Amino acid sequence: MGDIEDALDRADTEGFTREPPKSLQARVNFLLRRLKTARAVAAEIGVTADSVNRYRRGARRRPPQEIADRIEAAVLARWQPRVRERRRRQAATATGITVETRAQFGYTAPVGTTDDGRFRRLTVHLPPEYARRLFEAREQGAGDRRLREIVAEGLQEVYFKDGGRRAAGLEVELNNIDYFDVSF
């Protein structure tokens, strides 16, 4: 996963209205309710169906860290899907997203101006159009490069070009990301 996709996942989990299950047994039981069979849960987290049943009964309490991480990721991916969808829809139609980043921006600019890339720290609110495009690209399985292009285009229009009031020929590229966070 890339920086932008991880940030979108974090923003998704920030909107939960209830905490996801904490204990291993509760998490496995939640997955069993969603996926219906121990075999389906086992395939999802990479263990045997017998191991899933041991986790469910509480006979096995401490899985290896790698398995525990997979169980947590599977639970978070399925926790409160309607809450996630409602927040994404609201961001894509009304509120937009806020991007906070420290990254190196590369520029293609008209002759006589600098096109040297440099690190900048930005916190910019992008309109709903960019949130919609970002969510759609992610749903279609776009890679980190495509997601970076969408964010760079939004930052270019909103921050660097100030909605068309300056820097008419500027093209911005998002290169080295030091950190990246999204909220919606």
Query: Band of the pLDDT at 116, cuts 50, 70, 90?
Result: low
Q: Indicate if the pLDDT at residue 128 is higher than 70.
A: yes
Query: Band of the pLDDT at 3, cuts 50, 70, 90?
Result: confident
How confident is the model at residue 167, as a pLDDT?
66
Interval 42-59: pLDDT, tens: 999 999 999 999 999 989
Q: Please answer whether residues 144 and 5 qualify as being in contact, where contact means their C-beta atoms are separated by less than 8 angstroms.
A: yes
Q: Indicate if the pLDDT at residue 137 is higher than 80.
A: yes
- Rounded to the nearest integer, the mean pLDDT of the chain is 87
How confident is the model at residue 160, as a pLDDT?
81
Q: Indicate if the pLDDT at residue 131 is higher than 90.
A: yes
